[in-house]
Amino acid sequence: MSIIPILKDIGRGAQGARHLDRARASAVMGQVLDGEVSDLELGAFVMALRMKGETLDELAGFLDAAHERCLRVRSDRPVVLIPSYNGSRRLPNLTPLLAMELARAGARVLVHGPASEPVRVSTAQIFHDLGLPRAQQQADVHAAWARREPAFMALETLCQPLQRLLNVRWTVGLRNSGHSIAKMLNPLGAARCLRIVNTTHPEFSTLMSQWVQREAVDAMLLRGTEGEPVADPRRQPRIDTYVAGQPYAAACVPAQDGVVTELPLLPRDNDGATTALYIQSVLAGERPAPAPLTRQVQAIQQALVALDQGQAFQSRQAR
């Protein structure tokens, strides 16, 4: 079925375009993810949305379609869900350190992102350099949790149709709605999970805050490091944490004010191997972790306590 009627609605520019309701958004994204549109229609679709900007209903509908095509992972405890889709250009990518600190403290952590990144240093590459195997199926995720390690699953395994949509970036040169959907993705189903979402600009931050509150999502929102959902090691960013869509003050962190007087000791190079060695030295206690990352870990742990109590209450209610 052609999506030309949809293109006529959304392709009229920022002022003239008409928005999709949640049901239509889910239907058209289902066609896109199932490969039922031509390459020309797909290119027009992603560029029209790029020009118009997505509404909350549109993103929610797109997410509904992605969830219908996503691998499910079971857990009887809350999970920290870390979408890692940017990688690093100048600073070391410390998303793996965040994940490993949490896992070592006993949290169940699932990281997902692209299997490779041609122009940046990806989380997948650093996990490989650390010797952590990539999860190919649900059993691999549970095995990593049993070892107190974070599980990393490539998006092409978790939701292959969504990875195909992200790959359009390498043809048109721009990111598309798929990247926002990936950050919102929840493969845990009924289990509680705390999604750690990087918000790259004010408009997206507002949209994510509205989504979290409307859909009663458990999430931590922050402007991380070069698009990664990890606190900037040089200056504490503001961290907003929500439990069931409500601000959770105990796990919120204010932004650092004033002039930075001391910088953390970071590796000079940000390649995967050097970053992996740095992470190993921090985990071994040979170097201190950057203070903003430590505060983020503490905030996540506090949020997990609230989620754990809520899930236990739900389990008792279901009996």
Q: Is the dihedral angle over the CA atoms 204, 154, 63, 76 positive or is it negative? A: negative
> CB atoms < 10 A from the CB of 2, how many?
11
Q: Environment class of residue 315 by beta-carbon count within 10 Å: exposed (0-12), middle (13-18) or buried (19+)?
A: exposed
- CA torsion angle for 36, 171, 46, 7 (degrees, to 10)? -60
What is the Cα–Cα distance from 111 to 301, expressed in whole angstroms?
A: 16
Contacts with 175 (C-beta within 8 Å, 6 or more apart), sequence order:
169
Q: Is the dihedral angle over the CA atoms 80, 84, 87, 88 positive or is it negative? A: negative
CATH code at 4-67: 1.20.970.10
What are the boundaries of each domain within the chain? 4-67, 79-318
Which pLDDT does position 260 carry in this prediction? Answer: 66
Q: How many residues make up the chain in this entry?
A: 319
86, 94, 101, 279, 310 from 265: Cα distances, Å: 23, 13, 18, 12, 39
The yes/no answer on whether domain 79-318 falls in CATH 3.40.640.10 is: no
Q: Which residue numbers in the chain have pLDDT < 50?
A: 312-319
**pLDDT tens sequence across 126-144:** 999 999 999 999 999 999 9
Supply φ then ψ for residue 173, to 5 degrees.
85, 0
What is the Cα–Cα distance from 248 to 21, expressed in whole angstroms?
A: 30
**pLDDT tens sequence across 211-255:** 999 999 999 999 999 999 999 999 999 999 999 999 999 999 999
